[in-house]
Amino acid sequence: MRTLRNRSFSLLMSGQLVSKLGNNLYMIALPWYVYVTTGSKLLLAVTGLAQSLPAIAGLFSGVFVDRWQKRKVMLTVDVIRVVLCVALFLLAVHHANIYTIVVTVLLLETAGRFFGPAATSIIPIIVSSEDLAEASGLEQSGGGIAQLVGTIAGGPLIQGLGAPFLFLANAITYGVSVLSLGFLKVSEPIAQPTEPPSFVREWLEGFSITLKSRFILLITLAAMAANFGFAAFDISLTAWVKGPMHGNAIDLALVGASFFSGVLAGGVALGPISKVLNLRTILVGGLFFVAGLTGLVGLKSLLWWAMPILFLVGIGVSLMNGALGAFAYQVVPSHVRGRVFGTLSAASTLTAPLGMALYGYLMIHIPLHILFILIAIPAFLSGVSLLVPTKDDSGNLEVGLEA
């Protein structure tokens, strides 16, 4: 693959591979730690809410990302995340109040909302336009590998060392990311402002650019609906494995590994598939595929039932996210990518806190197999909405900037 021969891309992805590995150890350890320590589904939902609520910050972080050098933003955020993960480890080891841990999680996720737009914006700078679909697929696959390894290792590590030590491992992997970014050489074009900086004006510009395309707006609304449903998917899986399945952390790791194996397979397949199908078809098909399979997850409380279903769900999710990423790389102008990507990402996840609150409440009051069906409904409706005939007017993004 030509993209892998790009030194800057390979260096960036290697650092992100390691940090995503650590982040997945943290993601599997955090809900397990909270649920095992407190035995409370309510506190499990509160923790999930703390993870999803910082999506709101993404509405505004892109303004600053566009002003600053992307590499420096990523370096600074990763240093902050090292400190916060070490703090999280110390709080957990000393059995601090659960709400202190929740606040630390909130800060950690907020910092990540600056990293995301910077990382997304830097890829089109270091990768040629004809390689963007392949780069997007490789990014999904790399994330899938890290998540797969992290999930497989996470269960035994939780059993052997305890969940808090995985918080420390996450800090170490963010440190590795800092090192890789330190060696990254990238020439970042910085747009010269024609008028004095204004946060409000720049934020409104990024937001208005997004609204110039009805097609982009439709995709964003569909993503908002899907993320509303899937916000509580991870914590629901944790409760399902620990509850009806009567499983342990290793069973949870196997279930998660099945999903991320699918993510890896879908990322590898995106490049070839995108040469046959357009990105919109991949996105719509993925939504229906994922929605149908998610509703089946809880029908049997058996490991052998869940693993193949979640593998297929992972493929669908990877194809959807990869197609969406490749499309965004192609149509968003370089000097506003931070704002537009931040706005799109935040808007598409803005409903996640509401979904976490609703489904977290339902998780306490209804059987989990019914909850999985309810989680799938918004994704299905998102797929239906994208079937409505809508002209691809994403070119309006460029036109709007030139006007």
Q: What is the mean pLDDT of the segment spanning 308-313?
A: 92
The answer on pLDDT for 218 being more than 50 is yes
Average pLDDT of the residues in 135-146: 74
Question: Has residue 65 been placed in a domain?
Answer: yes
Tell the residue number behind the tokens 């390894």, with chain if given. 149
**278: which 2 tokens?**
């357009």
- What mean pLDDT value characterizes the chain? 80
pLDDT for the residue 171: 94
Domain assignment present for 194: no
Q: What angle do CA 94, 96, 98 make, to 5 degrees?
A: 140
196 Cβ contact partners less than 8 Å away, ≥ 6 residues apart? none
Q: What sign does the dihedral 24-27-33-35 (CA atoms) show?
A: negative
Summarised one tens digit per residue, pLDDT across range 102-117 is: 999 999 999 888 887 7
Asked if the structure places residue 221 within a domain, the reply is yes
* pLDDT score for 374: 93
**pLDDT tens track for 368-380:** 889 999 999 998 9
**CB atoms closer than 10 angstroms to residue 125:** 15
The 10s digit of each residue's pLDDT in 324-361 is 767 666 666 655 566 666 666 666 666 777 888 888 88
213 neighbors 396 (Cβ within 8 angstroms): yes
Q: CB–CB of 356/49 below 8 Å?
A: yes
User: How many whole angstroms separate alpha carbon 69 and alpha carbon 187?
Assistant: 10
Residue 79 sits in a domain whose CATH number is 1.20.1250.20
CA 385 to chain centre: 22
> What six digits make up the tokens of 189?
């074009």
Give the pLDDT confidence score for residue 346 in this predicted structure: 63
Residue 399: what pLDDT?
A: 41
- Residue 189 counted as domain residue: no
314 within domain boundaries:
yes
Helical H segments across 243-336, by residue range: 249-274, 279-294, 303-331
Q: Which run of H or of E encompasses 71?
A: helix 70-93
- What's the DSSP call for residue 57? G
HSE toward the beta carbon, residue 163, CA cutoff 13 A = 22
Q: How far is CA 133 from CA 28, 136, 188, 273, in A?
A: 29, 5, 21, 10
The answer to which of 203-207, 219-223, 285-289 has the lowest mean pLDDT is 203-207
- Per-residue confidence (pLDDT) for residue 337, from 0 to 100: 60
How does DSSP assign 202-233, residue by residue?
HHHHHHHHHHT-HHHHHHHHHHHHHHHHHTTH
Q: State how far the Cα of 397 lies from the Cα of 220, in Å rounded to an integer.
A: 15
Q: Is residue 27 part of a domain?
A: yes
Q: Is 65 helix (H, G, I), strand (E, B) or coil?
A: helix
Q: Per the structure, how many domains does the chain have?
A: 1
Residue in 18, 49, 47 with CA at minimum distance from that of residue 33: 47
Domain that holds residue 126: 2-184+199-402
For the segment 220-247, the average pLDDT, to the nearest whole number, is 83
Residue 316 inside a domain? The answer is: yes
Q: Which two tokens stand for residue 40?
A: 């409370």
* Alpha helices per DSSP H over 162-183: 164-183
Mean pLDDT to the nearest integer, 285-305: 88
pLDDT band of residue 194 (cuts 50, 70, 90) is: low
